[in-house]
Structure 1
Amino acid sequence: MADLQDELDTITEAVGGLAPALEPPSRSEDTAPDAGTDALERARSFLAGHPVAVGYTGVPWALRHLPRYDVEFGEGNGSADVPRLREGYVGALFWSLHLPGEPTGDRAARATLDQLDLVLTAVRAHHEGLRLADDAAQITDLRNRGRVSVVIGPAGACALGDSLGVLRILRALGLRLLTLSGVSWAGDDGLTRFGEEVVREMDRLGVLPDLSGASAATVHRTIGLSRAPVVFTRSGARALRPHPVNLTDDVLVELGRAQGLCLVPLAPEQTGPSVRDVADHLDHVRELAGPECVGLSGAYDSGAAQTSDPTDASSYPRLIAELLVRGWTEADLSLLTWGNVQRVLRTADFTARAAQQSRGPSMARITDLEG
């Protein structure tokens, strides 16, 4: 997705024309109620070199539904605009294409493409702060050039209908995650034969399975079938808060064995109303799945209620400060904020290249496998 403007930016930065976007902001009035000011300064210093990759945001939903959303200057009702992303040291974030009401058939495909068109239009309109990114290398390159990467996904499985051709089109347009729920082929009974074919085609394309909200049977079968890491884009620990999208301890252990990734959201109904509550979930996921399998999610601007303490995308320094106080090492924090998202993207791309050597595009339809 590089363009002429990218090349001009590279030349400009080479001669010192653009200041790094992730330098610590000069805000003396900030306080951290959950951690001391020393820990907050340490957190900012750490994040300047290890920014946050946010695994789920509802910015496309907000752009369509909020009365004012000023992406560039933050003078609206949004929670993940460019100024807040800078203040929160966010270097990359996923923009969800999820649809309200779970439409079906052709309507779902059209609505998903409308969401995707909105994403492409919004990012291109704010290219000084945001850039589309398709893989780990592009994300790193954009971070080094002071831009925030927007990665497309997840989309809902309902967008596919019964056509894997739609999946290939969405991947060609930049989709990196697909949520396996809300469809007949990935329901309470798990993956059908067509659902298994969808997962194999996702492996071939480099589209990661998102299992947040999927049934237990779908979760277990997908973990066993997918050669790429599975991702839970917005799940906490059910042992701490019994929300249906949160993960049980046995799933967390299974996720650790499979080297997948659980992205813990800042959402009161899932992880509680404070920074400490979110940190408790991160501690729990790290303990059971391992430090290589935990990351951060926002759920910002998705229409869901936000925590009363970390209120928007600028809150990550306070969360990292809390984890520093709890004794998290910088090595584990670097995996949490940036490294683990990079790993799953790289692994998905490696898996796709290997699969394409032995498998062509699948033309299967539901009627072929289940009719």
Structure 2
Amino acid sequence: MADLQDELQSLAEPGDLLDTAQTAPLAPQPPPGSPQERARALLADHPVVDGHSGLPWALRDLAWYDLQLGDSGVDTDVLRLREGRVGALLWSLRLPERIEAERAVGATLEQLDLVRSVVAAHPEGLRLARSAGQVIDARNCGRVAVVLGPAGAAALDDSLGILRVLHTLGLRVLTLAGASWAGEAGLTRFGEEVLREMNRLGVLADVSGASDATIARALALSRTPVLCTRSAARSLRAHPDNLSDALLAELGAAKGLCLVPSSPERSGPGVQDVADHLDHVRAIAGPESVGLSGHAPGAGAAPGYPHLIAELLRRGWPETDVTLLTWGNMQRVLRSADFAARAARERRKPSAARISELDPTDA
């Protein structure tokens, strides 16, 4: 997120920054009716829900940081989030692949504890949100909403009880990859039971990085929309996390959400590249199935969101589609998960399934 402030000074307003003492002098205002001015107006009412931030892992080894002042060893802070017009973040709890399996649960809990501490230490800028309504409340109070997740499937240690504990602690998104029950062949019987229990709890399924078979099965089985928190169009860039046109069409039919990342590896290095992927996903999956996603701190340059929105407006995107992209689609998915979970808990008890019973050869 370091470069969210790049090329954005002309779009900043003193009232948008939480610490006005650090506000940079304003550049000349964009002409009325220009894409830049329209982007600023749209983002004032419909800020970006950023679908993937790797900040928790970046903070774990820092002896000191202050996200309010921005004086720290990371490239994300409240000021830059405001300048980038970010209203909510999904804070990733993913673990590096080098983490041993037996450490996954503990490392995820440590990240959860860190995130809660970070939010508590920055009450003027950040607010933890567990529902669509709480995300809106945070925005209305001038805070950036923090939604916990995605976490990796390894964090469950093949236990639905651990899934429920993580949900109690605030987890809202889990990635269906990196576990024996979600592999190249798709979801096993236990994997399907994990997804059903996620639906009952209101934990959204993230299928970025999962196999095509797992993605297809999750789309068919889930009672709530499925997320792809860091996936662009495979036909434009052959990254393994990106989605084929066939999967994008299935995602759109299921009212899922592809959060296109601003990362050189997945979408390309510049604004034009990211806009190309957004155009493609919107054309294949539909305007209700496309959103925005960031990148892990230090992962490389990403276009500033106001600059990106201005580019989409220049390409002829209707303002209604832009507001769905930045805010509306993610709100719909969160509301759908909340509603489906309330209904599921009335008809389904907590699952007592064990992997040793459903997938005995994998236990």
Do they superpose with TM above 0.5? yes
Q: Is residue 2:68 matched to residue 1:79?
A: no
Cα offsets for 1:17-46 (capped at 9, x unmatched): xx6769x987534899xx999322221121
1:142 is displaced (CA, Å) by: 1.1
The one-letter code sitting in structure 2 at the alignment partner of 1:217 is A
Does 2:316 match 1:327?
A: yes
d(CA) in 2 for partners of 1:88 and 1:226? Answer: 33
1:40-94 Cα deviation digits (max 9, x unpaired): 2221121111111101000101112467643111123423210001111111001
1:270 is aligned to 266
Contact 2:200 2:341 in 1 (8 A): yes
RMSD: 2.3
Structure 1 residues 119 and 75: CA distance shift in structure 2, 3 A: same
1:113 to 1:265, Cα distance in 2 relative to 1, 3 A:
same
* Percent of aligned positions that are identical: 61
Equivalences for residues 276-287 of structure 1 within 5 A: 276-287=272-283
C-alpha contact (below 8 Å) 1:21/1:146 kept by paired residues? no
Q: Which residue of 2 aligns with 1:360?
A: 349
Task: Flag structure 2 segments of 5+ consecutive residues without an equivalent.
Answer: 1-14
Q: Which amino acid aligns with 2:199?
A: D
Residue 160 of structure 1 pairs with residue 160 of structure 2: no
Aligned ranges for residues 98-247 of structure 1 at < 5 Å? 98-101=94-97, 103-247=99-243
* Counterpart-to-counterpart distance in 2, 1:334 and 1:172: 31
The offset of 1:104, in angstroms, is 5.0
Q: 1: distance between equivalents of 2:262 and 2:61?
A: 21
Shift of 1:113: 0.1
Q: 1:280–1:362: structure 2 CA closer, same or farther, 3 Å change rule?
A: same
**1:306 aligned onto 2:300:** yes
The residue identity in structure 1 corresponding to 2:325 is L
Q: Is the 8 A contact 2:234 2:244 kept in 1?
A: yes
Q: Distance in 1 between matches of 2:85 and 2:272?
A: 20
Match of 2:328 in 1: 339
Q: Residues 223 and 94 (structure 1 numbering): CA distance in 2 closer, same or farther, change over 3 Å?
A: same
- The partner residue of 1:316 within 282, 291, 305 is 305
Q: Tell me if the contact between 1:133 and 1:150 (Cα under 8 Å) persists in the aligned partners.
A: yes
Report the counterpart of residue 14 of structure 1 in structure 2: none
- The code of the aligned residue for 2:350 comes to P
Aligned to 2:10: none
CA contact (8 A) 1:241 1:271 kept: yes
Structure 1 residues 338, 370: CA separation in 2 closer, same or farther (over 3 Å shift)? same
Q: Deviation string for 1:267-326 (max 9, x for gaps)?
A: 00111110110000000000000000000000141x5x223x62xxxx111011101111
Query: Relative to 1, partners in 2 of residues 1:122 and 1:335: Cα closer, same or farther, differing over 3 Å?
Result: same
Counterpart of 1:12 in structure 2 is none
Other-structure match for 2:5: none
Structure 1 unaligned blocks of 5 or more: 1-18
Deviation digits for residues 343-366 of structure 1, max 9, x if unmatched?
000001111111111110001111
* TM-score, normalisation: structure 2: 0.90
The count of residues paired between Structure 1 and Structure 2 equals 344
Q: Which amino acid in structure 2 is aligned with residue 205 of structure 1?
A: L
Matching residue's letter, 1:28:
L
Give the structure 2 partner of residue 64 of structure 1.
60
Matching residue of 2:3: none
TM-score, normalised by the number of residues in structure 1: 0.88
**C-alpha contact (below 8 Å) 2:177/2:210 kept by paired residues:** yes
How far, CA to CA, are the matches of 1:230 and 1:150 in structure 2? 19
Corresponding residue for 1:11?
Answer: none
1:101 CA drift (Å): 2.0
Provide the residue aligned with 1:8 in structure 2.
none
- The match for 1:15 is none
CA 1:241–1:200 in 2, change beyond 3 Å: closer, same or farther? same
Instruction: Indicate if the aligned counterparts of 1:20 and 1:145 stay in contact, CA closer than 8 A.
Output: no
The 8 Å contact of residues 185 and 191 in structure 1, kept in 2 or not, is answered as yes
